[in-house]
Amino acid sequence: MKKTLSLALLAFAVLCLLAPVALFAEEAPAAAHAADSGSSVKTMAALAAGLAIGVAAFGASIGQGMGLKGATEGIARNPGASGKITTTLIIGLAMIESLAIYALLVSLGILINQKMFF
């Protein structure tokens, strides 16, 4: 039951997000479309940069949550090892966050390459 409800809500959310595109799309003349090909590359670059940083932020947050969950469970089982666990946790969180920062740099590189930033 939960799986069916989740799938139905997901389909409804996708439908709500895509409805404005289908309803309010305008046809462009062929001459204007051919002259505007550089704009489509910039649009795709902006979408790629946004998608890259969004996926990186999602993955980093999931990884940090799982790491924090493991650390708190470890400290709850053995409070005497909290110093070592905390040190390892901080180093691990820094490594996870560095991956998100690399994704930010890649996204900014895409935007700078298309002269959309700076």
Alpha-carbon gap, residue 14 to 10, rounded angstroms: 6
Q: What is the pLDDT of residues 91-106, one digit of tens each?
A: 999 999 998 999 999 8
Instruction: Please count the residues of the chain.
Output: 118
What was the pLDDT predicted at 32? 53
Amino acid letter, 21: V
pLDDT at 14 over 90: no
Longest dimension (CA), the chain: 73
Threshold 0.75, pTM exceeds = no
pLDDT: which is higher, 23 or 55: 55
